[in-house]
Structure 1
Amino acid sequence: MNYVTFGGVTVGLCILGYEIMSWWPGRKALMKDPVKHAATLLPFLAAWCYGCLTTLGIAGLIGTASSSVLGLSNWLGDAALLWGVGEQPGQLAARKTFTPLSGPGACLVLILTAVLVAAVKKAGDQTRGELKRGVWCGITLGTSAGVAGFAAVPLAQAVNAVADSVYRTV
């Protein structure tokens, strides 16, 4: 299982904060049409879910890429904490409830990888950035013990359930 450090979570929260501030339309605009503005967050949220899924027991090239991104984020975040604010880096406790993906769930992640690659290729510059930041944020926050980490458990259960029903009917 992948682990995350204080620095890795800090990087993920920085990405999340950047995305929210870039998205924020203002209070009046948000109150006028909340559904329209909330819908613009969907590419980031979908990519976040995919990034989170890649940390849940996925091996092979996808798992290696996810682990590499997490390791780089841990290193960058730890260096920023140490040199930026003088805080000592350290490893966070992982989630106590770890729900790995089933075999069919891993198959669904492979399908989602193909969909994500196509979405990034087709998307405009702004959406392409949102998708990449969403995956990165999901990878860094998916293994944390906080709220984002707990979101990974129902996400994994949902993917396992959908994949099990799809592969049962095939």
Structure 2
Amino acid sequence: MNYVTYGGVTVGLCLLIHQLVTWFPGRKKLTNDPVRQAAELLPFLLGWAYGCLTTLGVGGLVGLISGTILGLSNWLGDVALVWGVGGQGEQQTGAKAFVPLSGPGLAVVLILTVAFIAAAKKSAYGVELKRGAWCGICLGTSAGVAGFAAVPLATAANVIGDRIYGAF
């Protein structure tokens, strides 16, 4: 199972804060056209959901890449906490129990992986998708609000997979 340290959560939160600060259009624009302005966050949110799903018991190459990114983010965040602000590193956060992906749910993650790679390469929003996935990997197994979103994501992937593959 993947676990996240305080450093990894810090990296994930930094990615989230960076996205929100660079996105924020100003109060006037947000008040005049809130739907359009909020829609600009959609690529990041989709990337975040995908990244979160990859941390939920996914094995193989996708799980290896996700686990490696999480491990490097944990290390990077721990180093930043120790050397940047004098904190302690390598403290595992209270990781929550998650809903494991079923066989059909894993198939949905594989399909989403193909879609994510294509979108990240061809879309004008590739940077936001990648940043969202990185953030989702870091926060997907945390015990906070972001981590609790993993349960509905995994459940949705399992249900979608059951519907698709149940028809065969």
Shared fold (TM-score, shorter chain, > 0.5): yes
Distance, in Å, in 2 between the alignment partners of 1:32 and 1:167 is 44
- Quote the offset at 1:12 in angstroms: 0.1
Q: Which amino acid aligns with 1:164?
A: D
The equivalences for 1:9-158 within 5 A come to: 9-89=9-89, 90-95=91-96, 97-124=97-124, 127-158=125-156
Counterpart in the other structure of 1:164: 162
Alignment root-mean-square deviation, CA: 0.6
Distance, in Å, in 2 between the alignment partners of 1:129 and 1:15 is 12
Distance, in Å, in 1 between the alignment partners of 2:123 and 2:159 is 29
| Aligned residue pairs, count | 167
Distance, in Å, in 2 between the alignment partners of 1:43 and 1:59 is 25
Deviation >4 Å, runs of 4+: none
Counterpart in the other structure of 1:5: 5
Distance, in Å, in 1 between the alignment partners of 2:22 and 2:65 is 27
Distance, in Å, in 1 between the alignment partners of 2:61 and 2:160 is 23
Larger deviation, residues 59-68 vs 154-163: 154-163
Distance, in Å, in 2 between the alignment partners of 1:143 and 1:137 is 11
TM-score by length of 1: 0.97
- Quote the offset at 1:138 in angstroms: 0.2
Q: Which runs of 5 or more residues in structure 2 are unaligned? A: none
Distance, in Å, in 1 between the alignment partners of 2:72 and 2:48 is 17
Q: Which runs of 5 or more residues in structure 1 are unaligned? A: none
Distance, in Å, in 2 between the alignment partners of 1:16 and 1:55 is 17
Distance, in Å, in 2 between the alignment partners of 1:106 and 1:69 is 19
- Quote the offset at 1:121 in angstroms: 1.3
Q: Which amino acid aligns with 1:105?
A: G
Per-residue deviation, residues 14-68 of structure 1 (Å, max 9, x unmatched): 0000000011001110010000011111110001000000000100000000000
Distance, in Å, in 2 between the alignment partners of 1:161 and 1:94 is 24
Q: Secondary structure at the match of 1:149?
A: helix
Q: Which amino acid aligns with 1:120?
A: A
Identity %: 63
